[in-house]
Chain A
Amino acid sequence: MSKWILEGVSKIFDKTIAVNNISLELEENKIYGLIGRNGAGKTTLLKLLANQLEPTRGVIRKGKEALKDNDSLSQEVCLARETINMLGIRNLSVKKIFQIASDVYPYWDNEYCQDLIKLFSLDIGQKHIKLSRGMQTMVGIIIGLASRAPLTLFDEPYVGLDPVARELFYESLLTDYEKNKRTIIISSHLMSELENLFERIIIIDQGSILLNEEMEAVHEKAKVISGDKAYVEKILKDKKVIYRQEIGRLANYTVFDSFTEEELREFKDLNINYSSINLQKLFINLAKGGNFNGEE
């Protein structure tokens, strides 16, 4: 099984560095969450993986095969978006758009596509331009799921979807993933809902990767420690502190590290609070100016 590998990939638009020297290995048959603020570089990274943008520097490959100028490898990737930007395409009916997708994706499952259309109650006779925002997102989701591309990328696949539709999407994704394994990357802001889907998380900020970790490790290591600043800082001396918030003598620390039983006992003895932090909170604290080097 070959991994998708990014080596020193950068993408520069005029003077803007959208993706900055990213090196990454994507294991096959895993669901990745790609988290980042607006403008962090998520969509650019997904487009680079989909070979829809050319890296300014660096190489993207699967195993030993480079993605550049490799038509057969490009066909293994599907980037599902929430909307279509070309007016001439938006004037086509949804049925026609699915027909075109079925003609171009080599692994397309038409039966599954029909099941999804029924599940989402999508009116395929309608022109794409006449659909609501949520329905347009559904078209993108159905294309992504039915493409059965070995590397399927979803770029914010929840825009405009109501909670019921989002739940239907998560269920469909997981059910199909169990039967037909593939590598899936979902870029998102909705961490609270999607956290349980992700097997591995990538946090990106200003074009660089801040975190690339298994979800289990994130749950294990991402903690909030709060208490007397003097005591806590002594214990956290050699630990990875991501974010620090001080209120007088007291302080809250977001930490990404493991603790021994002894250290946990010390917390208890010194009345220091030690609790888990969810992905959303971890991301927010990182976004507030924290980082994995412990600097602010």
Chain B
Amino acid sequence: MERNKNLARVLFQFEKTSLIIIALIFLGNVLVNLLVSILVESLTFSFFITQFVSNLLLFTFIYIMSTGINQMINVIPFLVSLNVPRSRLAKSITVNGLKRVSFVTVFFFLIKIILNKAAYYSMPIILGMDLSTGSLIEDLLLALIVFLVLSLAYSFIIFLGLVGGKYGWEYLLGIIFIALGTVFFLIRSLILLFAFGWRSSVWLLLLIVLFAGLSILNYRLIRNYEYKY
């Protein structure tokens, strides 16, 4: 347990700097938006809330992605070069991502609850859910979707890096093209999903399966990682 705590502490050392930078940029953005909404008469406080939530979504996504990229480029090779036990490293990388995503999801959930109370703020309809209703079940479902999407994004970015490192960057480009092609092929279904929540339970199941599959693949790839530097 002590060694696992040490590894968690080590992993946090690597992301401290990017976390501070992203937080500063986000706060700067929020400050600018606040000033704009105060100084420009035609803009309401509701505008600021919309900007705040959009920025929060964007920057937490950037934070999760940058954590994944940092772990792939720096953390995994360095810790493999220090002979950290592979199974521990693989578990820590996955758990580290889950912890970060869970924290972000809880944070979003709390923001949603607070906005529910702010009656003057109207919320959009996404995935066929009217977010203004303030239904707890819908909020929990939304939190689950945010959790799965961010976890999948984190796992996918690490998967790309590990595959590229092991098999060559041609395979990496191949996977990216396949992923983009799949999205393009399913664009109609995705639009229907976002607008009307069409077959959302199927998509939810798909997210869970993809996330579980990528986690297992990442575990194996880290266990067999070769330090070629």
A contact set with B: CB distance below 8 Å: 47, 50-54, 69, 71-72, 74-75, 77-79, 81, 84-89, 92, 96, 99-101, 103-106, 143, 149
Contact = CB atoms under 8 A, between A and B. Distances in A.
B10 A103 contact: yes
A96 B13 CA distance: 8
Interface of B: 3, 6-7, 9-10, 13-14, 70, 73-75, 77-88, 223-224, 226-229
Contact of A69 (B7, B78, B223, B227): B223
Contacts of B77: 85-86
Contact of A52 (B9, B81, B85): B81
A86 B74 contact: yes
A86 B229 contact: yes
A81 B83 CA distance: 13
Contacts of A72: 85
A100 B84 CA distance: 11
B6 A87 contact: no
Given A86-B78, A103-B6, A53 B227 contact: yes
Contacts of A52: 80-81, 83, 226-227
Contacts of A77: 83
A126 B226 CA distance: 29
B85 A54 contact: no
Given A47-B227, A103-B9, A104-B10, A71 B81 contact: no
Q: Do most interface residues of chain B lie in helix, strand or loop, or is the interface mixed?
A: helix
Nearest to B88: A71
A104 B7 contact: yes
Contacts of B86: 69, 71, 74
A53 B82 contact: no
B94 to A, nearest CB: 16
Nearest to B8: A103
Contacts of B83: 50-52, 74-75, 77-79, 104-105, 149
A153 to B, nearest CB: 10
Contact of B226 (A54, A69, A78, A101): A54
Given A74-B83, A85-B77, 11 more contacts: A51-B83, A53-B226, A74-B85, A86-B78, A87-B74, A88-B70, A88-B75, A101-B82, A103-B6, A103-B9, A104-B84
Nearest to A86: B74
Kindly list the 10 A-B residue pairs having the minimum CB-CB distance in the complex, ordered from nearest.
A88-B74, A71-B85, A103-B6, A52-B227, A85-B229, A86-B74, A89-B78, A104-B82, A104-B84, A53-B226
